């Protein structure tokens, strides 16, 4: 199966029923970052840990002007009952909407169903920018829960990279070579290459870095 969505694509228009009412993607989230994620099924242990983990970090996402939207092929009644169970038993109120894709059409359109992993949605994550462009895609199998701190880091890194017109190193902001600094785009001509090593801290002309502004 070919992925329906690729990095750099625009999120397609989707009207969906959620636990918070009907939403229209991407229109309702224009001007905001969005993490759209799918989970295999309600009332399952790994998914429950993920929803609690997302909710515990929801304020941090919102500080980055980023919203969360969940999705699975369960009916909205199941979603409602499950989030109520989480509130009653785990003392965590799920504040973000959860799409009820009971026909599976939205999941198919977004590439969230992988035949080799059954008919349920895999643990997919789309990170979408304020212009509705897909900036990153992550897939996890059903048996492995996601690291929400990494997803949060990715959103922040995209924003810092854009603000500084720079690329972000591995493990930012705790990179083993340049710590919380960012990478200057490599020069594409001789003159700029010579200037870069004078203007920035560099390992070489093609690997220069600077402080975050």
Q: Which residues are catalytic?
A: 47
Tokens of 111: 């590439």
Q: Please give the biggest Cα pair distance in the chain.
A: 64
Asked if 145 and 52 touch (Cβ cutoff 8 Å), the reply is no
With both helix axes pointing from N to C terminus, report the angle between 148-164 and 45-56 in degrees, rounded to the nearest 10: 40
Cα distance between residue 161 and residue 134, in whole Å: 16
Q: Rounded distance, CA 32 to CA 129, Å?
A: 7
Give burial (CB, 10 Å; 0-12/13-18/19+) of 57: middle
Burial of 130 (0-12, 13-18, 19+ CB in 10 A): middle
Nearest CA to 64 out of 181, 133, 163, 147 is that of 163
Residue of 194, 201, 126 lying closest to 166 (CA atoms): 201
CA distance 193 to 208: 10
């Amino acid at each position: 199966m070919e992925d329906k969505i690729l990095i750099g694509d625009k999120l397609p228009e989707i009207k969906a029923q959620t636990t918070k009412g009907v939403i229209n993607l991407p229109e309702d989230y224009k001007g905001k970052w969005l993490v759209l994620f799918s989970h295999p099924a309600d009332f399952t242990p790994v998914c429950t840990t993920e929803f609690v983990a997302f909710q515990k970090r929801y304020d941090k996402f919102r500080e980055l002007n980023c919203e969360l939207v969940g999705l699975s092929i369960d009916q909205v009644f199941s979603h409602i009952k499950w989030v109520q169970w989480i509130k009653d038993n785990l003392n965590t109120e799920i504040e973000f909407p959860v799409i009820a894709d009971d026909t599976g059409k939205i999941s198919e359109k977004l590439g969230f169903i992988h035949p080799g992993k059954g008919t349920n949605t895999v643990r997919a994550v789309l990170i979408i920018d304020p212009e509705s462009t897909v900036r990153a895609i992550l897939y996890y199998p059903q048996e492995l829960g996601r690291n929400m701190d990494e997803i949060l880091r990715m959103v922040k890194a995209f924003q810092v990279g854009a603000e500084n017109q720079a690329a972000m190193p591995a493990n930012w902001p705790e990179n083993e070579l340049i710590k919380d600094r960012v990478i200057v785009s490599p020069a594409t001509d001789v003159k700029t290459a010579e200037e870069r090593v004078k203007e920035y801290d560099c390992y070489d002309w093609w690997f220069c870095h600077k402080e975050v502004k």
